[in-house]
Structure 1
Amino acid sequence: MSATAGSVRPVRPANWGQRAAWWLVSLIVVAAFWSVRIKWSALLDFPGQSAKYLRALFVPPAWHKAGEAFSSMILSVQMAWFGTVLGIVVSFPLSFLAARPLAPLGVRLPLRGLFAIIRAVPEVVTAILILSVTGLTPFTGALALAIGSIGTLGKWGYEAFEAAESGPLEAIRTSGGGMVALLRWGVWPSSAPEVLSFWLYRFEINVRASAILGLIGAGGIGKMLQDNVQFRNWDVVGMLLLVVIIVTMAIDQISGAVRVRLVSGRWELPLVRRLASGGAPRRKGLSPEATPPG
């Protein structure tokens, strides 16, 4: 019995290029995996060694160092704040010039390339490059954070401006409005909540990064952490870690509440919202806890 035309299953075309690409990627992953010198026997000792160092860190921590630890952490927060504000001041006008509906191609492309180059360089490397001029001071760390903030805030800014509603822009252009009116009444009102939430999110990132910059001698909690790790003062290290966790979580909750206010118009602590919702992420609208693009 001959098969009808409708019952014949079409032959799936062989995509040899895609298969070859997958095999190549798999071989690269396997080669990279085996080229790393991993001492597998050390994994068996990891639980016992972890318990040993946790006891040295937190049983008990050096409570008498709490005041000094908080003072160092405040210095790290000040570095993060200065770096964030300076990054906002520089990146904000540049973001307008990098946005598609606001600037010509010859202006946009160099600025976007500059933002990409800055984002490609970690803050630690930036601090090492500029310490020959400023020395190992908290100002060095703040400048490194400011430069890193320019790259990320610049990108997030022009992406937010490009996503602004087109209706107000067309209305302002039709009525003969200039560039200032276009920015003030067309772009900024619809993109302001998102841009402001990005600024707060970058401040959170800089608080964490400031502790890392301290490890190279830029001051703050990282410098104190490095000194005590070097001399194996594990109880002091445990106290420092507790302070970092407490202050970072407090800033995260406060910043998250402000971002929720900016986006949704209500006050709400992120941790309380997660507990109330059973930990399920919220899908509708811009999530104030989501990582910005880029």
Structure 2
Amino acid sequence: MSLPSSARAIGLDLPRHPSRLVPTVIAVIVGVVVLGAAAALPIPWDDLGSLPGQVAHYLGLMFAAPNWEMLPQALFETWRSISMAWIGAIGCVIVSIPLGMLAATGVGPIWVRLPLRGLFAIIRAVPEVIIALLLLTVTGLTPFTGALALAIAGIGTQAKWVYETIESVQEGASEAVKAAGGNTAEVTRWALWPAAAPALLSFALYRFEINIRTSAVLGLVGAGGIGSMLANYTNFRQWDTVGMLLIVVVLATMLMDAVSGAIRRRIMRGPRVRATATPREEHTDVARVS
């Protein structure tokens, strides 16, 4: 006698096997959509075979003999991109932290929370490049345009991190402040902010890392920095200079990521505590030496 029939004989109800119909239908629909999208694109499928050779050819033009004569100007433009990213991150944090706190449950009233969260969602839906293009008509082709675009675009994500972090804080400190007679502002200042500050500062540094990468893209639309220089030399097909610029961009991004990551780890983990010997251990060491 098989196991299912034995279980039914003694009165046990076995659970039914889960149906695979819904996941199968979803997989088929997704596959049809992907195939339809690929078929609608004007892709020259016959040229795909020559693509690796073309990539290798242009990589050789860029990195076989980079033009290091333009390195001083590239370093200056890289510094402008980093400055743009830093100013954008500071502006984003200054605006997003108070607005994000007001959007957190238990801090702001519902008639404030819902509009703010809707505004953050709208900002997240608009790419940084589109914001920069809209600002170009007002501020012109300057690095300030890129910094302002980075600040505005980062508010949506940064503010969401803020109110989610505030809502995840344990309620023990908040209840203690409320029990002492504190109002909402005092609970936010003395209970929520001290608990959430390390995570929020870490998120702020992470926003700076994101801005460094995005600043190079904004330069392609005329916002200044290393991206504008890269776009200009790419348009003129000066591949040896383009290769040098790419090397500078990669190295600068890796360096800033390493520095920012080390600071974020220090903020989250706190300073290291060196192990010190107890008085008993010191007495034992002295006895051994003597």
Where structure 2 has 5 or more consecutive residues not aligned to the other structure, the ranges are 273-290
Shift of 1:179: 2.8
Cα–Cα, structure 1 residues 11 and 76, in superposed 2: closer, same or farther, change >3 Å? Answer: closer
Between 174-183 and 28-37, report the one with greater CA deviation: 28-37
**Could you tell me which residue of structure 1 aligns to residue 286 of structure 2?**
none
Cα–Cα, structure 1 residues 180 and 237, in superposed 2: closer, same or farther, change >3 Å? Answer: same
Q: How far apart are the structure 1 equivalents of 2:143 and 2:220?
A: 12
Cα–Cα, structure 1 residues 15 and 249, in superposed 2: closer, same or farther, change >3 Å? Answer: closer
**Could you tell me which residue of structure 1 aligns to residue 262 of structure 2?**
257
Q: How far apart are the structure 1 equivalents of 2:267 and 2:253?
A: 21
TM-score under structure 1 length normalisation: 0.85
**Could you tell me which residue of structure 2 aligns to residue 54 of structure 1?**
59
Q: How far apart are the structure 1 equivalents of 2:140 and 2:83?
A: 18
3-state secondary structure, aligned to 1:118: helix
**Could you tell me which residue of structure 2 aligns to residue 167 of structure 1?**
172
Is 1:194 the counterpart of 2:202 in the alignment? no
Between 147-156 and 19-28, report the one with greater CA deviation: 19-28
**Could you tell me which residue of structure 1 aligns to residue 113 of structure 2?**
108
Is 1:211 the counterpart of 2:216 in the alignment? yes
Between 128-137 and 250-259, report the one with greater CA deviation: 128-137
Shift of 1:36: 2.5
**Could you tell me which residue of structure 1 aligns to residue 96 of structure 2?**
91
**Could you tell me which residue of structure 2 aligns to residue 144 of structure 1?**
149
Is 1:129 the counterpart of 2:134 in the alignment? yes
Between 197-206 and 32-41, report the one with greater CA deviation: 32-41
8 Å Cα contact 1:123-1:144 kept in structure 2? yes
Shift of 1:145: 0.5
In structure 2, give the amino acid aligned to 1:265: G
**Could you tell me which residue of structure 2 aligns to residue 120 of structure 1?**
125
Q: How far apart are the structure 2 equivalents of 1:143 and 1:10?
A: 58
In structure 2, give the amino acid aligned to 1:171: A
**Could you tell me which residue of structure 2 aligns to residue 278 of structure 1?**
none
Cα–Cα, structure 1 residues 14 and 256, in superposed 2: closer, same or farther, change >3 Å? Answer: closer
Shift of 1:15: 6.6
Where structure 1 has 5 or more consecutive residues not aligned to the other structure, the ranges are 268-294
**Could you tell me which residue of structure 1 aligns to residue 8 of structure 2?**
6
Is 1:157 the counterpart of 2:162 in the alignment? yes
Q: How far apart are the structure 2 equivalents of 1:80 and 1:11?
A: 56
- Out of 174, 178, 181, the residue aligned to residue 176 of structure 1 is 181
CA deviation profile, 1:156-191 (whole Å, cap 9, x unmatched): 111111111110001111110123321222111221
Shift of 1:152: 1.2
**Could you tell me which residue of structure 2 aligns to residue 33 of structure 1?**
38
Between 151-160 and 38-47, report the one with greater CA deviation: 38-47
- Out of 244, 247, 256, the residue aligned to residue 252 of structure 2 is 247
Q: How far apart are the structure 1 equivalents of 2:39 and 2:241?
A: 38
8 Å Cα contact 1:260-1:266 kept in structure 2? no
In structure 2, give the amino acid aligned to 1:70: L
Q: How far apart are the structure 2 equivalents of 1:204 and 1:165?
A: 29
Q: How far apart are the structure 2 equivalents of 1:247 and 1:15?
A: 49
3-state secondary structure, aligned to 2:119: helix
Cα–Cα, structure 1 residues 27 and 185, in superposed 2: closer, same or farther, change >3 Å? Answer: same
Q: Quick one: percent identity of the two aligned structures?
A: 50
Cα–Cα, structure 1 residues 13 and 258, in superposed 2: closer, same or farther, change >3 Å? Answer: closer
Q: How far apart are the structure 1 equivalents of 2:188 and 2:16?
A: 56
Shift of 1:11: 5.3
Is 1:73 the counterpart of 2:78 in the alignment? yes
Q: How far apart are the structure 2 equivalents of 1:198 and 1:245?
A: 22
TM-score under structure 2 length normalisation: 0.86
